[in-house]
Amino acid sequence: MQIDLTDRTALVTGSTQGIGRAIAAALADCGARVAINGRQAGGVEAAIEELRAGAPGRDLVAAAGDVSTAAGAAEVLAVVGDVDVLVNNLGIFGSTPPLEIDDDEWRRYLEVNVLAAVRLIRSTLPGMTARGWGRVLNVASDSAIVIPAEMIHYGVSKTALLGVSRGFAKAAAGTGVTVNSVIAGPTHTGGVERFVYELVDSDLPWDEAQREFMRTHRPQSLLQRLIEPEEIANLVAYLASPLASATTGAAVRVDGGYVDSIVP
Catalytic residues: 154
Closest C-alpha to 84, from 169, 168, 177, 167: 177
- Give DSSP secondary structure letters for 11-22: EETT-SSHHHHH
What Cα–Cα distance (Å) separates residue 70 from each residue in 27, 98, 255?
26, 29, 31
Distance separating alpha carbons of residues 221 and 228, to the nearest angstrom: 14
Beta-bridge partners for 253: 183
Q: Which three-class secondary structure state does DSSP give residue 178?
A: strand
Closest C-alpha to 11, from 81, 114, 74, 66: 81
- Residue 242 one-letter amino acid: P
Backbone angles phi, psi at 262, to 5 degrees: -90, -5
- Give DSSP secondary structure letters for 93-129: -----GGG--HHHHHHHHIIIIIHHHHHHHHHHHHHH
